[in-house]
Structure formats: structure tokens, C-alpha cells
A = this chain, B = another copy of it.
Amino acid sequence: MRIGLLGTGNVARALAHGWRAAGHDVLLGSRRPEERTGLDLPVAGLGETAAHAEVLVNATPGGVSVALLHSIGAPALAGTLLIDVGVGLSDDFTELTHPNSSLGELIQEAFPLTPVVKTLCTMDSSAMTAPGELTEPGTVFLSGDDIEAKRTTGHLLTDLGWPPSSQLDIGGITTARGQEHFAFLFMGIADGVGSHTFNIKVVTRRQTDTP
């Protein structure tokens, strides 16, 4: 597929490399593409990236994502699946920019003709594209109102190494809140284990023979 990734940071680059290795056509979108050279990945302007993309990925800082998407414009985004992996935290990572809401919800509200799926934002970029480097892949969550959009996102996660058994659909776009608010526990766990390369795995009840 033609995948446009908005952003040129660690997350956008890691995902672009992962999807390119799986055979997809990737393009990074930047406000200043002329300054983003030497990335070993193609870079274009935001509008050009959106026009290129069958699937667009928001990997820009959560506090500015909505404004940045507005600069591309709702008509250019209409009908395009938007995978949002941004996290709405202040620049110093101490405060939620959207307490009691989420970036995912706000994007879906601002762009109602663009199906939004929130995923991958509960882990570091180093774990997003290398679930096989962990002792187990753990769980990746999907939030979104559009079933077909979640199905396509699921295929793209599988292409990054996430088996379907490790993907968990947790509901509509309002559940993006849970994924984003996990940022604080993420930071605590990172301190506790001494690494950003980890994930969480949902463990459920043991199967028994009794009904």
C-alpha cells in the first residue's frame, strides 16, 4: 500500500522502515521537507504526502497534531484511513494535553469523514516494529469507530510482526483515551525495568474444564 507518515521523528522513521521492509511504498511528510535530508527515506511536504497516501499515519507531537492536520485540510483527508499513533503529552512529558479526552477522539471529531484508528501508542518506537525482540510480543490495542479501518490497520500491524493473536480491539475511538493515558504508567515501567523497549501483555483467566 501507499503509506504516508506525518512526522520525521523516531516513530515515523521506525514505522516507515518496518513497512518498507514488508513491501509497502512509504513517504514521510514534513512541514519543512527541504531540511529533512539524509534520512534514507523519501520525504515530501504534508499535502503531497497526504495526496500520495492510501493510509496516512499521524506520528507528530500530540499537542500540535490537530492544527497540523487542519493545515492539510479536511477535503484532502476525507475518506483516507488515518492511523493515529500520537500521544497528547506536554513537551516535558509531565502533563496530559487532553485530560479526560484524547488526541484520537479530537482528531475524529475534527475530521468526521476520515476514519481514525488509534494504535501503537502504548509503546516505544523500538518495540513497535520489533515485537519479536521481546520475550513475547505482548498486546497492541486498536480503538476506532470504523470496522473496516480497524481491519486494514490490523493487516498493517501484522506486516510489522504483530500476530493477530496479539492485537486487541478495545472499542470505539473514545477508548483512545485509555491508550494515551497509559503514557504515565509507561514512564514508570520504563524506570522500573531500566529500558524503553518493553510492552505489556494482557493475561486472562486460565481455561478450566468446568463450565
The answer on a CB contact under 8 Å between B192 and A203 is no
> CB-defined interface of A152-191 with B at 8 Å, one 1/0 digit per residue?
0000000000000000111100010111011011111101
A96 interface residue per 8 A CB criterion: yes
Nearest CB of B to A148, in Å: 18
Please, how many angstroms separate the alpha-carbon atoms of A191 and B94 in the complex? 29
Closest-by-CB residue of B relative to A175 is B188
A99 interface residue per 8 A CB criterion: yes
Please, how many angstroms separate the alpha-carbon atoms of A96 and B170 in the complex? 19
Closest-by-CB residue of B relative to A179 is B185
Closest-by-CB residue of B relative to A136 is B203
Nearest CB of B to A186, in Å: 7
Number of copies: 2
Q: Which residues of B contact A67 (CB under 8 A)?
A: none
Using known A-B contacts A141-B185, A182-B185, determine if residue A204 contacts B200 with beta carbons closer than 8 Å: no
Using known A-B contacts A100-B95, A205-B197, A206-B134, determine if residue A181 contacts B184 with beta carbons closer than 8 Å: yes
Nearest CB of B to A108, in Å: 15
Please, how many angstroms separate the alpha-carbon atoms of A20 and B44 in the complex? 64
Please, how many angstroms separate the alpha-carbon atoms of A192 and B141 in the complex? 9
The answer on a CB contact under 8 Å between B202 and A189 is yes
Q: Which residues of B contact A205 (CB under 8 A)?
A: 133-135, 195, 197-198
In the complex, chain A residues 92-119 whose Cβ is within 8 Å of any chain B Cβ:
94-96, 99-100
Interface centre among A139, A193, A200, by most B CB within 10 Å? A200
Please, how many angstroms separate the alpha-carbon atoms of A186 and B169 in the complex? 13
Closest-by-CB residue of B relative to A169 is B192
Q: Using CB atoms and an 8 Å cutoff, list the residues of chain A in contact with chain B.
A: 94-96, 99-100, 122, 133-139, 141, 143, 168-171, 175, 177-179, 181-182, 184-189, 191-193, 195, 197-206
Q: List 8 A-B contacts (CB under 8 A).
A: A95-B100, A170-B192, A175-B187, A181-B184, A193-B202, A198-B204, A199-B202, A200-B201
